[in-house]
Amino acid sequence: MKITTAQDQSPIVIIGAGPIGLAAAAHLSQRQLPFLVLEAGSRPGEAMEQWAHVTLFSPWQYLVDSASANILAKLGWQAPSPHRIADRPNIY
């Protein structure tokens, strides 16, 4: 007997397409679970866009989620050196 739960029918809703919301979406996608991302801004990463004038301080090794990297690699993305500081042209 298959027990039907609300999770079987409803997508998981992620509020916000910032780095964390997008990483959550990538993990759900990898598990083939239905999800819906709701973003208040006009594009993903809207909050970070608001401080685009600030130079990032983190090397790539701390910025790339594993599930996201898998999806991006299938699209031809090549991961930067893990020790390189991320700069804006490489994010957008």
Ligand X SMILES: Cc1cc2nc3c(=O)[nH]c(=O)nc-3n(C[C@H](O)[C@H](O)[C@H](O)COP(=O)(O)OP(=O)(O)OC[C@H]3O[C@@H](n4cnc5c(N)ncnc54)[C@H](O)[C@@H]3O)c2cc1C
Catalog residues that contact ligand X under the rule CB under 6 A. 15-21, 38-41, 46-48, 51, 54, 56-58, 63
Which C-beta is closer to ligand X: that of 47 or that of 72?
A: 47
Q: Please, what is the minimum distance in Å from the beta carbon of residue 43 to ligand X?
A: 8
Which C-beta is closer to ligand X: that of 4 or that of 27?
A: 27
Give the residue closest to ligand X by C-beta.
18
SS (H, E, C) the chain: CCCCCHHHHCCEEEECCCHHHHHHHHHHHHCCCCEEEECCCCCCCHHHHCCCCCCCCCEHHHCCCHHHHHHHHHCCCCCCCCCCECCHHHHC
